[in-house]
Structure 1
Amino acid sequence: MSVSFTEIEAAVGAVGRMGATAPVVIGGMVLTGLEVPDELVVGGQQQLTVHRLLGGGRVIDVLGNDPDRLILRGRFVGPQAQARARMVERMRAAGAAVAFSAAGLSCQVWIAQFAYSYQARGAVCAYMLVLERADLAAAAAEDVGGAISGDVGGALSGLSAVVSDVSGGVYTLAGQVGTIVGQVTPVAALLGAGGAVATVTNALAAVNGAAQAGVDLAGAPSVVSTLLSGLSAAGSGLSTLLGQTGANLEGIVLSDGASLGAATQNAGLASAAADAAGLVNRAAANVALAGGVTPSVPVG
């Protein structure tokens, strides 16, 4: 079956937007793009003991929060789908508590149940994951610095991986981006010393170093200010990168191998930038919470 350039253009554009959802972190795995669960069921109960008195009166003792298990459903896609599913299966079998972060939640969890279905000869593995969690407030108070460092480190590693692929030619089919159409910003300009990617990675590296210092942010307003300033700079660079790659994807007309390579390069950078934006925003929220200041959103 033949595939038209219009269909390819639509698919590449979708790749550039699929990272708009913030990634999910479980243990040492980061789920991004199509791996991010379609559904995350969150809830809980307030444990109450009701003492019924003569005459219809009642005395209620509040025993505390009892969070329900988290239920996630999604799919692993691509040549590594089954290998990725097996990584989660090994975490389940190990029976150890692991870090979990998604949809504004950050806590320690145990993998109570995990199942996946082998589909399309292993190219798709739909999964269902059930997590038993610790108390969210206690978990958040344990290691705010570690959560911030984890988010910033994840953003750095995600950007670095895509930049390495682009620079190494993995996303290049033929030609250079600048030869496609005049209004397209060359990828080299985005990756150069003064480009948006360099601005982001430099700012995140500084934030990561400060976050790993182990300072109690509640009593260190200068460190909070430094972290928020760095995250704001990273957010500005990510906004620029998202804007430029988005404009490129709109401007590239797929007519040959060179234009397809250019579109794929930009889609890869856009997806990585969107994933990093979610992590940067969450890191900023954690810094603001720990420092007792008004939260801001570095990447709108």
Structure 2
Amino acid sequence: MGIGLSDIENAIGAVGRLGSSSPVILGNLVLTGIEVPDTLQVGGRQMLVVHRLPGGGRVVDALGNDPGRLELKGRFLGPDAQMRAQAVERMRMAGQQVAFSAAGLSVQVWIAQFTYVYQAKGAVCSYTLILERPQETASTQTSSTLSGVLGDDVGSALDSFSGVVSNVSEGVFTAAGQVSSVVGQVMPLASLVGAGGFAAKVTDALGTVNGVAQSGMNLATVPSALASVAGGLESGGSGLQSVITGAGQNVESIQPVNSVSLNALGQNAALLSAATDAGSLINRAAANVAVAQGQETSVPSVFA
């Protein structure tokens, strides 16, 4: 089955919306962006026994809720597509319950069926996943206080930091040909805020964490989700620390001898301030996750 231009355009669009896509968690895998299933069928039935009486009357006995299987269809995309599909296959073969969270659901499930199609030499693996649910009650799943706290902290950090990075980036690439005019610059701003730079890694990591926190799951009851959040916070914190170090060195070293240097000094100062503020929020979020994981202390991810 070939991959058409529309498929590529849809994939690019989905990657661009990575931070806003509600993630799906299955065991130790977090599916975001293009990997989020296209469809998720949810439902079930009420088991009823109908006793038919003479004259058309009948008595109905409700025996209880019978949750239907969860059916998902989507795709893995990229150089690790087949590896991630095989990870789900191993979960199916193990026959153990795994955590599942999506669309406001947060339950333990069994993988009843999983198939994937190897496409584009392994760069695309379309999959079908069928999950068996345990008996459930009529009560609904609600987000834990932890989820709300993380959402507030990480969301605020992401919004403020991304806004400053966007503003700085515009100035950086406008004056790209004048980098050599900045006297004393230790690390060019393009290395901090450009594609693949430290700031991009921070926004990617925090975007994924924010998506998990906002997904509606009760994080306190899903250890795999907590581990994923902890890893994302660590990655985001490491990137922020690199931004703080690079921008801080530039603020101390740049000599404002011309307009370009003065502009670069202001941009570095703004980036340093935003990274420091975001770092304090990430440290608090990491501490809350550590407590939820049963750890008494948490070493700060970011040192200002």
TM-score, normalised by the number of residues in structure 1? 0.54
Alignment of 1:185-200 (within 5 A): 188-189=271-272, 192=275, 194-196=276-278, 198-200=279-281
Using the TM superposition, give the Cα deviation of residue 28 of structure 1 relative to its aligned residue in structure 2, in angstroms: 1.3
Using the TM superposition, give the Cα deviation of residue 23 of structure 1 relative to its aligned residue in structure 2, in angstroms: 1.1
Aligned residues: 195
- Equivalent in the alignment of 1:7: none
In the alignment, residue 288 of structure 2 is paired with which amino acid?
V
Deviates more, 1:79-88 or 1:25-34: 25-34
CA contact (8 A) 2:97 2:108 kept: yes
CA contact (8 A) 2:27 2:224 kept: no
How many Å separate the matches in 1 of 2:289 and 2:45? 36
- Equivalent in the alignment of 1:126: 126
- Equivalent in the alignment of 1:80: 80
1:180-227 per-position Cα deviation (integer Å, ceiling 9, x unaligned):
x989788953773x232x23322222322443459xxxxxxxxxxxxx
Using the TM superposition, give the Cα deviation of residue 19 of structure 1 relative to its aligned residue in structure 2, in angstroms: 2.8
- Equivalent in the alignment of 1:277: none
1:63-86 per-position Cα deviation (integer Å, ceiling 9, x unaligned):
111111000111111110000000
CA contact (8 A) 2:92 2:112 kept: yes
Residues 210, 163 of structure 1: alpha-carbon distance in 2 compared, 3 angstrom cutoff: closer
Q: Which runs of 5+ in 1 are unaligned?
A: 1-10, 170-175, 215-300
How many Å separate the matches in 2 of 1:158 and 1:84? 18
> Cα RMSD between the aligned structures?
4.0
- Equivalent in the alignment of 1:44: 44
CA contact (8 A) 1:108 1:139 kept: no
Alignment of 1:75-114 (within 5 A): 75-114=75-114
How high is the sequence identity, in percent, across the aligned residues? 50
- Equivalent in the alignment of 2:286: 205
Alignment of 1:222-237 (within 5 A): none
SS of residue in 2 equivalent to 1:61: strand
SS of residue in 1 equivalent to 2:55: coil
SS of residue in 1 equivalent to 2:22: coil
Choose the corresponding residue for 1:155, options 214, 224, 229: 229
State which structure, 1 or 2, has the greater radius of gyration over its C-alpha atoms. Answer: 2
How many Å separate the matches in 1 of 2:104 and 2:17? 20
TM-score, normalised by the number of residues in structure 2? 0.54
Residues 134, 104 of structure 1: alpha-carbon distance in 2 compared, 3 angstrom cutoff: same
Residues 31, 190 of structure 1: alpha-carbon distance in 2 compared, 3 angstrom cutoff: farther
Residues 118, 150 of structure 1: alpha-carbon distance in 2 compared, 3 angstrom cutoff: closer
Residues 166, 32 of structure 1: alpha-carbon distance in 2 compared, 3 angstrom cutoff: farther
CA contact (8 A) 1:149 1:211 kept: no
CA contact (8 A) 2:28 2:225 kept: no
How many Å separate the matches in 2 of 1:96 and 1:149? 15
Residues 191, 24 of structure 1: alpha-carbon distance in 2 compared, 3 angstrom cutoff: farther
